[in-house]
């Protein structure tokens, strides 16, 4: 499949802003003009197009409008940069907080392990004391004088 020769001149409009008669130049060169501001693609774009210049009054107007727009864009850009810096600071604080929480969690786990060990040691000591008290009570009962059976015991 052969490609069609490029015969379209994509030129930003409006066409009256040019010093030259762009329509006459296009007819002489066998080109069709399409406003480059609204064209979606550049299919069949001509490679050799006439040179044109913009009238001075439109250049000055464009410069003023572009200057105002550039100032607006710069202000928005500065706001975005400030927000990005604020987000970076928040992310840094969050990372530091996360590290502190992880450190506290590890310390809590170690304290829980120590508490469990201490609870086991306390339970072992309590059992030892209960056993010792039971031995002392048994020894006290064994060494107590035996009493004679009383009348209440005989009946």
Question: What is the average pLDDT value for the chain, to the nearest integer?
Answer: 88
The confidence score (pLDDT) of residue 3 equals: 56
How much is the pTM? 0.39
Distance CA 131, CA 122 (A): 14
pLDDT tens-digit profile of 62-101? 566 677 777 888 899 999 999 999 999 999 999 999 999 9
Are 54 and 60 within 8 A, CB to CB?
no
Paired sense of beta strands 32-35 and 8-11, if any: parallel
CA distances from 105 to 41, 94, 95, 101, 114 (A): 59, 16, 15, 6, 14
């Amino acid at each position: 499949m052969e490609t069609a020769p490029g015969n379209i001149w994509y030129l930003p409009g409006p066409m009256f802003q040019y010093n030259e008669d762009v329509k006459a130049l296009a007819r002489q060169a066998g080109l069709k003009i399409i406003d480059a501001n609204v064209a979606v693609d550049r299919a069949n774009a001509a490679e050799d197009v006439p040179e044109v210049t913009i009238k001075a009054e439109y250049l000055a107007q464009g410069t003023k409008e572009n200057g105002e727009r550039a100032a607006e864009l710069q202000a928005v850009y500065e706001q975005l940069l400030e927000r990005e810096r604020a987000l970076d600071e928040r992310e840094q604080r969050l990372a530091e907080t996360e590290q502190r929480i992880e450190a506290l969690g590890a310390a809590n786990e170690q304290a829980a392990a120590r508490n469990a060990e201490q609870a086991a040691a306390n339970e072992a000591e309590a059992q030892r004391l209960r056993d010792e008290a039971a031995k002392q009570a048994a020894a006290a009962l064994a060494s107590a004088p035996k009493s004679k059976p009383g009348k209440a015991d005989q009946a």
